[in-house]
Structure 1
Amino acid sequence: MSFDDFKALVGLSFRDPQAAAHLLMAQDWPVSARWMALFAAVSVSALLASFAAVLFSTPGPDGTQIVTLSRQPMMLAAMQLAAIVLAAGLMSGVGRMFGGGGRFEDALLLTVWIEVLLLLVQVAQLALSLILPGVAGLLGLAAVVLFLWLTVQFTKALHGFRNSVKVALGLLGTAFVAGFVLSLIAAALGILPEMPQ
């Protein structure tokens, strides 16, 4: 994919995300290339988050710097990688439960592409934070809306669904159930943070 192809695909993703999803899937990338794209995307995302944490870090009450997850890029990248793989598995698996025919390999490609698009927003947000912090905050909210919208549209393209409302409700329901199950697993393994007394 050339840089011009990349720019055209980014533009198409915002104008007609389902067409962009079909175009991506039609390219039939090898599975290894999809995994490489995933590792590259989460690595760049973690580095950007780490850079932002250093750039905008604030001292704690005792004068020391507050350590956040974004200051640990390896941990952040691992968590993002796991989240994207889980999202791809849910996108393909739950969709097939409701009559869709999407493959995990295509779902992985589409979730990676969503991450790439959000990376572009993250770069813009980082740049705006230096000159217009208020606008950068609004861009952060827009990124959440963009993520949900793209996920719904890409899920429709992956499985051939037509009703956006049903897909959105399915997405929210799946996220709720997945979050509940993951919290139970985290509690069982003792990795939930302690609640303040």
Structure 2
Amino acid sequence: MTFEGFLRLALQTVTAPRDVARLLLSLRLPTEALVLGFALVVVGNALVFSISLVLMPPTQAMGLLGNPLALMAIRGVVLLATIASLTWIGQMFGGRARFESIALLLIWLQALSVAVQVLFTFILPIAPQLGSALVFAATAIGAYITVHFLDEAHGLNSIGKSVVVLILGMIAMAVSLSIFLSLVGFTPAGLTGHV
């Protein structure tokens, strides 16, 4: 995909998310491509975050989040848990999407997120208020796209149901992640360091 093609598809993701979801799902990418895409967005996410730490003054307590390898592991686990939760909760509501379908759509959203984070990395130090407003807008747009992606992938034909799937999926992801982290010995203090 060319840079121009990426920008065109990114814009279409905002203006016509269902069409993009249908297009992506029609590709029927092999598992190897999904694993590679997953790895790329996790590494890209951690890399951009690490660069932002260099450009902006670090917070008092970064802890593990200041370690790029730990950050990649955390991002990977969170994305995996999100994919599993949205697949499972969607199926509970009568959805038909498989894990691979949700994975593909969320990997694409993460790729867009990395691109947006690059932009924010340079805007926030120069214009913090503008940057904060853009972060809020990007979060709202991301939620809008995700709801439409879920509705299309699961075939729910209901934005309301898709919103509920997203909310319950995020709750399920947070609960399962906190249980996992406590089982492996991580605590909030371990993640953020000592204040």
TM-score range, shorter chain: 0.7 to 0.9
Q: Which residue of 2 aligns with 1:76?
A: 71
| Matched ranges for 1:44-193 at <5 A | 44-58=44-58, 66-193=61-188
- Answer with 157-166 or 178-187: which moved more: 178-187
Equivalent position amino acid for 1:47 in 2: L
Matches of 1:58 and 1:119, distance apart in 2: 20
Cα distance, 1:146 vs structure 2: 2.5
- 3-state SS of the aligned residue for 2:186? coil
Structure 1 residues 79 and 130: CA distance shift in structure 2, 3 A? same
Cα distance, 1:85 vs structure 2: 1.4
> Rg larger in 1 or in 2?
1
Cα distance, 1:190 vs structure 2: 4.1
RMSD of equivalent CA atoms: 2.2
- Answer with 175-184 or 116-125: which moved more: 175-184
Matches of 1:85 and 1:132, distance apart in 2: 33
User: How many residues get paired?
Assistant: 191
Provide structure 2 residue ranges, at least 5 long, that are not aligned to the other structure. none
1:37-95 Cα shifts (integer Å, max 9, x gaps): 111111111011011112112485xxxxx544442111111111111111111222221
Structure 1 residues 82 and 134: CA distance shift in structure 2, 3 A? same
TM-score by length of 2: 0.87
Matches of 1:5 and 1:35, distance apart in 2: 22
Matches of 2:133 and 2:23, distance apart in 1: 30
Equivalent position amino acid for 2:144 in 1: W
Matches of 1:92 and 1:183, distance apart in 2: 19
Structure 1 residues 145 and 174: CA distance shift in structure 2, 3 A? same
- Contact 1:46 1:70 (8 Å CA) reproduced: no
Higher relative contact order (CA 8 A, sep 6+): 2
- Contact 1:42 1:77 (8 Å CA) reproduced: yes
Cα distance, 1:185 vs structure 2: 4.4
Equivalent position amino acid for 2:158 in 1: N
| Matched ranges for 1:25-40 at <5 A | 25-40=25-40
Cα distance, 1:158 vs structure 2: 0.6
Identity of aligned residues (%): 27
Provide structure 1 residue ranges, at least 5 long, that are not aligned to the other structure. 61-65
Q: Which residue of 2 aligns with 1:23?
A: 23
